Chains A and B, each alone.
Chain A
Amino acid sequence: MTTLVLIEAEGAAIKKASLSAVAAARAFGAVDVLLIGAHGAQEAARIEGVTRVLHADSTPHLAESIAALIADRASDYDHIVSAATAYGKNVLPRVAGLLDVQPITEVVEIIDANTFVRPIYAGSALSTVRSRDAIKVLTVRNANFDAASLSDAAPAPVEAISAAVEVPDAEYVGIELTHSDRPELESARVVISGGRGLKDAANFKLLEPVADKLGAAIGASRAAVDAGFAPNEMQVGQTGKIVAPELYIAVGLSGAIQHLAGMKDSRVIVAVNMDPEAPIFSVADYGLVGDLFEVLPQLKAELGA
């Protein structure tokens, strides 16, 4: 049996989250991918480990249509997978609903074909569950799986498919991409957060040049929000946003537990703090004891090199 992975393209390129989903799915065996929309089929064919690309170029980006398309072909598969992006999280549970299956979302580890680990309670606990369903419908967290690489060796065949099924009446109006050059906190690949060590709201701007260099989102500790240095929507932590970027840079924040709860799943953590005893160092992969007012300009310069 085979796994079907719903992938997404951005322009002609396949999204990195989707490449991670393919890599995760390869644990089960052969992988077919399903791509919706006009672009990206060529690159999809080059994903390592993909045996077939199903390309529905005229299907709208609507959960109703995509889920129906997948459910229609589900009997060919024992696993249906996507990345746990807003796109995947919108579509796959609907697929599960159509198939009378309990989906397993936000998977961070695959134990075997039926057994998966997923975080619950905002990551305060990890739950291992074994599915009794014949078809497993999963979304996987891309931060926990390496991306599949692209290869020119033997592109997989691309098969055009179309939807013939009747779907509920929904209309795709459009998407307004966020104009800010800065990504959103929860989906950013890199997050740089400031704490009270920045001393005032004006100094928060010191994070921006570094964030620009890294394409990072900017976050703040609760203490910094509390002190009025940053707006609440920037708060990372138990009571704010939970983030798990590839790289998390904590600047001038001590690392209160409530903050750690919001960022400890980041892949790589960097801490910059004056106080060598700050708890943030106990979770940091790379710690730099120093004055952030000196470190930030240096960091910007080094990154520019």
Chain B
Amino acid sequence: MIAAFVAVMLAMDGNCPPPLTLPAGLAIPLVTLAPLSSKTAHTGDPIDLVTSDDVVVDGTIAIPKGSAAHGQVAEARSTGGLGVNGKLTLRPLYLTLGDTTVRLTGSTIAKREVPAGTAIGMVTLTPVLSGATATVGAQTVIPAAVLKTVMIAQCPKPN
């Protein structure tokens, strides 16, 4: 709140634009950087994600394409006996813009692939064929959204 007030004051002073508001639910397009497999992944493993496109708010690029984001393997189940499929659930967690942490949430589906435009929670991938390992290739789309409304200052921090 204080940062926002200062930013507004500086904006009134003509020094920098007002802060941007990233509302809860704002779509954040993410992709994986490395392949993942239910055979080798473990619950809790960190996963590196990156924004696949600019996120624009009020005509301003709030989050540039290629911004790093952090996620986690929420569940990794290897294949079991009796034709049990492997299962891989990924959870987008957050990204950092300057000094601000932007909390994220993802999509909940249970399919082998993640279709574009799917909406929110955790991404769960389960192979179509029984007994198969769930895999996620690099550059797999992980739909995510801002979890909590947050304001980001547009001014560089003073030295």
**A and B interact:** no
